[in-house]
Amino acid sequence: MNAPPVGGVIRATAENSIYDSRILIADDEPLCCRLLAGILRRSKFTNVQFAHGGYSALEKIRSFQPDLLLLDMQMPDLSGQEVCRHVRAIPALVDLPILMQTATVDRKEMGILFEAGASDFLSKPINPSELVSRVTLHLERRSLLQELRDYRERTSMELEAARRMQFDLMPVQLVQEELAMTAGMRIGSYSRSSSEIGGDLWGVLPINEALFGVFLADFAGHGVTAALNTFRLHALIHEHAALYKDPAGLLAMLN
């Protein structure tokens, strides 16, 4: 059996995940709410709730925390445009997909809707296939955006942990002072990576009470690959303390 294309696997996974998405339909007409919900449920979207009016929509957003909002433009208590502005004022909801339903659409009105924060619009009467297509598109985009944010956050945390570990390879101030004092010298040091992590490393090699060595390494490149080499070098150097008195022998071993 031939394996499916990688891209097909990724898309299928994204599509499967969006069917559990929370969808909020905000419309003051209960019949319209049921009609939209019926279309979505027939397309496997099951987690659908209603808000009958603008203020009800704002309350429901706080409790239901939808992944997508289907919002009617004309509602008696608070217009869809005003609901949209209130939602976009909440930092956690700046990327919430908002699909505005409107019976009259012209260029000027479209500009006003997008300025208020609408992600897209649907013309009334609603076309079922268009509704499902646009809902699917925006939920997939939201899912992929969240995956990207999670990946960046995880990567950032891992790089920060690696940066701290790499910094811990450097000789601490107390060790520097003790070695310098026994040799009648002073040591001043400063180290800063060009990015989160890099290929620069230095250290001191205690030889005897009067002598110590200093090594400085600069691996080509930046980032993870160069940083891994610094960890390898640090481990190798400290495994061969017997060669500290013989710099040439130590370099030969490392090479």
Q: What pLDDT digit, counting tens, does each position of 47-75 carry?
A: 999 999 999 999 999 999 999 999 998 88
Query: Measured in whole angstroms, how far is the alpha carbon of residue 51 from the centre of its chain?
Result: 31
**pLDDT at residue 162 above 80?**
yes
**pLDDT at residue 3 above 60?**
no
**pLDDT at residue 10 above 60?**
no
Contact yes or no for 47/23 (Cβ under 8 A): yes
Phi, psi for 123 (deg, rounded to 5): -85, 135
Lowest mean pLDDT among 77-86, 113-122, 214-223: 214-223
User: If we measure between CA atoms, which residue out of 103, 102, 104, 108 comes closest to residue 120?
Assistant: 102
**pLDDT at residue 7 above 60?**
no
Question: Averaged over 101-105, what is the pLDDT?
Answer: 78
Phi, psi for 214 (deg, rounded to 5): -130, 130
**pLDDT at residue 8 above 50?**
no
Is the peptide bond preceding residue 125 cis, with omega within 30 degrees of 0? yes
Report the mean per-residue pLDDT for the chain: 86
- Tell me what percent of the residues of the chain surpass a pLDDT of 70: 91
pLDDT band for position 195 (50/70/90)? Answer: low
pLDDT band for position 11 (50/70/90)? Answer: very low
Question: Averaged over 187-193, what is the pLDDT?
Answer: 78
User: If we measure between CA atoms, which residue out of 32, 28, 151, 34 comes closest to residue 80?
Assistant: 28
Question: Averaged over 161-170, what is the pLDDT?
Answer: 86
